[in-house]
A and B are shown apart, each in its own frame.
Chain A
Amino acid sequence: MTRWRLILAVVVLAGGFAMTASADPTAQQDRYAYTQLPDARQEAKAQALMQELRCLVCQGQSIADSDADLAGDMRAMVRERIAAGESPDRVRRWLIERYGDYVTYDPPFNWRTAPLWLAPLVLLIAGGWLAARTIRRRRR
C-alpha cells in the first residue's frame, strides 16, 4: 500500500520534471544536478534547502546526499528556481503542495505534527518537574 503510493508519487514527480524540463531534460540535469550555482550566496541557499528535502526513492537520504537520478533531477530543479530568484521558502511550499509533507525533513507545524513538535517541550517540563520534586523532597 505504502509502496504503491510511493511509486505513484515517483511517477508523478518524474512526469512533472519531464514537463518542466521542456525540450531537453538531460541538458538541464547536466547543468545543475551535479554542479553548483555560480553565485555562492544562492548556492548556499539552495544547499540548505536541498539538505532538508527527502530523496523520494532513497533509503532515508536527503537529495543533497544521493546519487539517485531522481535526487539529481530535484537538485537541478531547486537550483534552477533559486537561480531564477525564487525564495527557498516558496520552492519548499511548491514541493509540499505537490508531493505532500513526505518530501521535507522539516515537518511543517499543523494539527498532524503538533504532538511531534510539542513533545520536546512537554518532556522537558515533565522531566524538570520530576527532578525538582526529587531534589526538594530530598532536602527536607
Chain B
Amino acid sequence: MIAESGLAALWFAAALALLQVALAGLALRLRNDDMTAAIRPVAMVQGLLCAGAMACLITVFAQSDMSVRLVFENSSAVKPMLYKIAGAWGNHEGSMLLWVTILGLAGAAVALFERQLEQRTLTATLGAQAVIALGFYAFLLFASNPFARLWPPAADGQGLNPLLQDPGLALHPPTLYVGYVGLSVAFSFAVGALVTRDVGPQFARAMRPWVLGAWIFLTLGITAGSYWAYYELGWGGWWFWDPVENASLMPWLAATALLHSVSVLATRDGLRAWTVMLAVVAFSMSMIGTFLVRSGVLTSVHAFAVDPERGTFILVLLALYIGGALALFGARIGTVRQGNTFDLVSREAGLVLNNLLLSVILGIVLIGTLYPLVAQGFGVQLSVGKPFFDKTAGPIALALMLVLAVGPLLRWRRDDAQAVLGRVTIPLGVAILAAVILVLLTPRAGAMPILGLAFAAGLAVASVAPLWRRNLKRTPWFIFGMVLAHLGVAVAVAGMASDSAFTQERLTALRFGETATVGPYDVTLKGVKPVVGENWSAIAGVLIVKRGTDRPFVMEPQQRFFSTPPTTTNESAIVTRWNGQLYTVLGQQNADGRWQVRLWWKPFVTLIWIGGAMIALGGLLALIGHMRRTMKMRRRAREYDEWAEAWL
C-alpha cells in the first residue's frame, strides 16, 4: 500500500505541475487575478506531494519491503538502518525522485517566501519551474518508476554497493542535488524575467539568495565528495578529474560566475544580459551533470544502471530546456536595456574578468569531459585527464587568483590605476617573498606548486585587506562573507599545492615486527587481527606509529569484505595532526607471507577541505547578511507606512 500511495502522490504532483503551467500561461495572457492568486497554493501542494512520495520510498526501504523491485535490487535486510534510509537514493530511480522532491520543495519555497518580485514575473517564474518539474515527472513515471512491484516478493535483496555504505551517502547526494536544483530556480527566475521583460536590480535581488544558496550547497557537496573519495579509495588522491566529479565542478564554476555577476546587477545595475545568460548556462551545466551521471554514458560508481533509453530521455529534456531557454534569450535579449557603464579600471571590470576566466575554465572542463565521449562516437578511443587539465586550466586558475586578489580592492565604476598599485604592494611583496623562500628551501617542489603556494600567500593577505581600517562593528555581514570565502580559496590552494609538492609516499611489504619510515613517522606492523561489523568482516593491520621520542600510537587500516554483493574495500586509517595527515592502508598478503602496507605523509593536505568549508561558510555569511539587510529595509518601509497612516 505504501508503494502505491507514493506512486499516486507522484501522479497527483505531476498533474498539479501541469495545472501550474496552464495557470501561469493563462494568468499572464488574460491578466486574471484569480488565476495568479491560485498559483502559489498549487506550487506548495505540489511540493508537499513530492515530499510525500519520497517519504513513502524511504519507508519501504526502512522496512526492507522486498516486494518492491527497487528495494530488492538495491537493499538488503541485514544492513545498518542509516544505509537502508540513505540507500533510498543510492540508486537511479530513488536519486531521481530525490531530485524531483527537492525541485518541488524549492518551488513551494519560492511560492511561500518570495515577496520582492513583481507579481507577473513571479507567476512566470513559477510557470517555468513547473515546466522543468513536468519533464522530470515524465521521466520518473514513464522511464524510471521507483515504486514498481516485484512478484513474487524476494526473501532478501541484492544489497547496496559497499563503496556507498558510508555516512557520506546520507549527505553527499542530497547536498549536491539541493545545489543543482537551486540553480534551476535561478534559471526559472531568469526565464520569468525574460518573459515579462523585467531584467533589472529587483530581479537580481530576488534571484541572489537562490544562487548563493545553491552555490553554498554545491561547494559543500564537492568538498565532502572529495574527502569521501580521498579516504575511501585508499590511494591518497582527492581529485581525479573523473567525468562525474567534473559534472559537479561545472555547475559550481558557472554558479560562481553567476554569483558575482548577479551582485553587479543587484547593486550597480550592470551586466544585465550577461547575468541572464549565466543563469541559463548554470542550469544547463546541472542538467548536463545529471545527464552524464544518470544516463549511463559513463561507467562509474555513480552510474547505478546502464540504460540507453533513459539516457536518450534525459538528453531530450536537456535539449528542450536549454534550447528553449536559449531561443527565449535570443528573442528577448534585444529588449533588455543596457545597464550602467563603468571604466576599464573598476570593480565591475574586475568582475567581468573574473567571469571571463571562470567561463574559460568551465569551457575547458566541459570540452575535456565531453571530448572522449564525442571521439568515441567517431570510433576514436582516447582519455583526457589530470595532465590535460593541469596544463590548460592550471595557468588560468593562477590568473584567476590574481584577479581575485586585486578585484575586491577596486572601487566601483572608476578607479585610479596608480592608487590600485599602491593598494596591492603588500600582498605582492608577500607573494614574492614566499616564492623566494620556497625556491631556496625546496628547489625540487616543482614550478606549479611553488607558484600555487606563493599566490596563495599573496591572496591570503589581499583577501583580508578590504577589512583594513574599517569599523568592524559597522561592516555588513556580506563583506565578512566575501573576505572569508576569498581567504578560503587561498587556504584550499595552499593545501593542494602543499600536497603535490611535499607528500611523501612509502609503498612496501612488511613482516610482523618490521618497520617502514614515511616522513617523520616510523610505522611498525605489529600484526593483523579479524574484525566483524554488522554486515561485513575485515582484516585489520595493527600499526604502531612513532615519531621521534613521542609516545607511540596505534592505527588500524582494514581490508573489508562484504557478502551482499561480494566486494572488498579498503578502509584507510588516517591520523590528523596540525601540520598534515598520516594516511595508512593495508593491502593484500604476498605469497611470501609479507603484508602490503601503503603509507603517505601529506603535509597540510587538510587545508584543501578546510578551505572548502571556509568558502561555503563565507557564502552562508553573505546570504545571512543580504537577508538581514532585506528584512531591515522591509521593517523600515513598514514603520514608515504605519507612521504615515497615523499622521498623514
Contact = CB atoms under 8 A, between A and B. Distances in A.
Nearest to B508: A35
B505 A62 contact: no
A120 B349 CA distance: 22
A29 B587 CA distance: 14
Contact of B383 (A5, A104, A119, A139): A104
A55 B591 CA distance: 24
B344 A135 contact: yes
Contacts of A106: 385, 387-388
A52 B386 CA distance: 7
A112 B382 contact: yes
A15 interface: no
A23 interface: no
Given A65-B235, A112-B382, 19 more contacts: A35-B509, A35-B596, A36-B505, A54-B385, A60-B242, A60-B298, A61-B240, A65-B237, A105-B385, A116-B388, A117-B392, A119-B364, A120-B396, A124-B396, A130-B356, A131-B353, A134-B352, A139-B341, A139-B343
Interface of A: 2, 5, 26, 30, 34-36, 47, 51-52, 54, 59-62, 64-67, 100-107, 112-113, 115-117, 119-120, 123-124, 127-128, 130-131, 134-135, 138-139
B630 interface: no
A123 B570 contact: no
Contacts of B202: none
A90 to B, nearest CB: 17
Contact of A131 (B352, B387, B590): B352
Nearest to B380: A112
8 contacts: A36-B506, A51-B387, A60-B243, A100-B382, A103-B383, A105-B384, A119-B367, A120-B396
A12 to B, nearest CB: 14
Contacts of B382: 100-102, 107, 112-113
Interface residues of B, number: 55
A43 to B, nearest CB: 8
A30 B385 contact: no
B598 interface: yes
B364 A123 contact: yes
Interface in B286-344: 298-301, 341-344
Nearest to A105: B385
Nearest to B509: A35
A5 B381 contact: yes
B352 A135 contact: yes
Between A47, A66, A67, the greatest number of chain B beta carbons within 10 A of the residue's beta carbon is seen for A67
B596 A34 contact: yes
B376 interface: yes
B240 A60 contact: yes
B412 to A, nearest CB: 13
A109 B509 CA distance: 39
B234 interface: yes
A131 B382 CA distance: 34
Contacts of A54: 383, 385
Contacts of A5: 381
A10 to B, nearest CB: 13
Contacts of B343: 139
B360 interface: yes
Given A101-B381, A104-B383, A116-B371, A59 B299 contact: yes
Given A35-B508, A105-B385, A116 B368 contact: yes
